[in-house]
Amino acid sequence: MQLYETKQAIRPGKEQEAENRAQQVYGEKYSPLLMFDSKKAVSRMLHEDMERQAVRRMVRQAQKEQMIPSKEKRKETRALIDVIKYIEVLLIRIFIVC
C-alpha cells in the first residue's frame, strides 16, 4: 500500500519531466497523442490496473474490518439491554410478591 501511494506521489512530476524531455528532443515531431498512447502502454506493461484494483480491495477489506467491532458492540449493547429488561421484570415480580 505504501509503495503504491509513494509511486502515485512521485509519478506526476516524473511524467511531466519525461514529457518535457520528449518535447525538447522531438521538437515539432512531438505528438501528444503518441505520448498518451505511450503512457497507456507503460501502464499496461506494469500491470497498474491490477495493482490499483488490489489496493482498492485492501482498502475495502480494511474498512470492513473496522466495521466489525461496531457490529459486535451493537450485539453486546442489545444483549445488555435484554439483561436489563429481564432484571426489571424480575424486580417487578419480586415487588408484586412482597
| Count of CA atoms in the C-beta half-sphere (13 A) of 13 | 5
d(CA 24, CA 84): 77
Backbone CA torsion sign across 67, 68, 74, 77: negative
**pLDDT (0 to 100) of residue 31:** 92
The distance in angstroms from the start CA to the end CA of the chain is: 66
Contact 36, 52 (CB under 8 A): no
Per-residue pLDDT of the chain (98 residues; tens, 9 = 90+): 677 778 778 888 888 998 999 899 999 999 999 999 988 898 888 888 888 888 888 888 888 877 776 777 888 888 999 999 988 888 888 878 76
What grid cell was written down for 53?
484494483
